[in-house]
Amino acid sequence: MPLPDRRLPAVVFFALALAGCGKQGVKPPSGPLEVAPTYEARDNPEIRKRVNYQDQMVLAGESMRAGALDAAEKRVRAATKIDARRPEAYMMLAAIATQRGNEAGAGPLYAKAAELAPDRGDVLNNYGAWLCAHGRPAESLVWFDRALQAPGYTTPASALANAGGCALEAGQSERATPDLRRALEIDPVNAYALESMARSEYAQGRYFEARAFAQRRLAAAPATRSVLQLASQIEARLGDNVASGRYLQRIHDEFPQDAAPNPRG
């Protein structure tokens, strides 16, 4: 799934990770479904319940990968009837809502998942990302902090990148740079951290540094309209109107649906 063509954090969808397609250029947080252990269920109702839940979730992931959202939702809701205490189902319902264009409706589902899994870093990171993407960047920082403190969280670069980018959105530049640099120490090709660093350097008038981060971002993952526009603005500030124009031409060629030039710089 392509990154949104906006300055938003990489909201990482559990369902897409389950289905085998992660967010473009962003390392998805941990938290795929556990593979059902090989037990003999026979007369153990708890094991049967676990296996049935996992079966429904796996089938839901397959349906989502095939684009059958109604079937996927039906499977997930069946899973919640089996076990309403597992966060994965609510994360997948949120992903389905987003796929349908109901991003506002995804928020309460991410919140429910975070309520059920207060010590799962990936779940907390996803809810924070949703908050930031929906105009609540300052509030989102609390959730990224909680994700980073969660035991066993295996992808801290994702939460650090989101924290840094959202700190910029919240006007907290003093926090943004350390978080973004820490993210890049762990994951030097984290696309969101690189773009956020480019924006931070650009805002502070450090255009050569901004250019370097923008170029690294474009090498790390497929281009978005937003990063091409930023690269064009940086080149304009550096006085290279030819390079700036090349980026605008790429917008025209690669994003014809919204390729009207924006004012530079």
**Structure tokens that stand for 147 in this block:** 């994700």
pLDDT in tens, 61-75: 999 999 999 999 999
* Strand, coil or helix: 174: helix
Residue 33 CB: number of other CB atoms within 10 A?
Answer: 17
* Residue 139 pLDDT > 80: yes
* Residue 166 pLDDT > 80: yes
* The pTM of the whole model exceeds 0.75: yes
* Residue 32 pLDDT > 50: no
Q: Nearest to residue 96, comparing CAs of 57, 133, 128?
A: 57
30 contacts 122 by C-beta, under 8 angstroms: yes
Average pLDDT for 37-41: 49
* Residue 26 pLDDT > 90: no
Residue 107: which domain range? Answer: 14-175
> Is 20 among the domain residues?
yes
Minimum mean pLDDT range among 63-67, 138-142, 192-196:
63-67
Domain tally for the chain?
1
> Is 222 among the domain residues?
no
Distance of CA 259 to the CA centre of its chain: 24
> Is 203 among the domain residues?
no
> Is 225 among the domain residues?
no
> Is 164 among the domain residues?
yes
pLDDT in tens, 212-253: 999 999 999 999 999 999 999 999 999 999 999 999 999 999
> Is 92 among the domain residues?
yes
* Residue 95 pLDDT > 80: yes
> Is 36 among the domain residues?
yes
- Cα distances from 95 to residues 47, 74, 75, 126, 159, in angstroms, run 27, 14, 14, 11, 18
* Residue 46 pLDDT > 60: yes
- Half-sphere exposure of residue 62, counting CA atoms within 13 Å on the CB side? 7
Q: Report how far residue 5's alpha carbon sits from residue 42's, in angstroms, rounded to the nearest whole number.
A: 51
Q: What's the confidence (pLDDT) of residue 5?
A: 27
DSSP per-residue letters across 67-122: T-HHHHHHHHHHHHHH-TT-HHHHHHHHHHHHHTT-HHHHHHHHHHHHHH-TT-HH
Average pLDDT for 177-193: 97
> Is 135 among the domain residues?
yes
What letter represents residue 51's amino acid?
A: V
Minimum mean pLDDT range among 25-29, 126-130, 165-169, 241-245:
25-29
Q: Which CATH number does the domain housing residue 32 bear?
A: 1.25.40.10
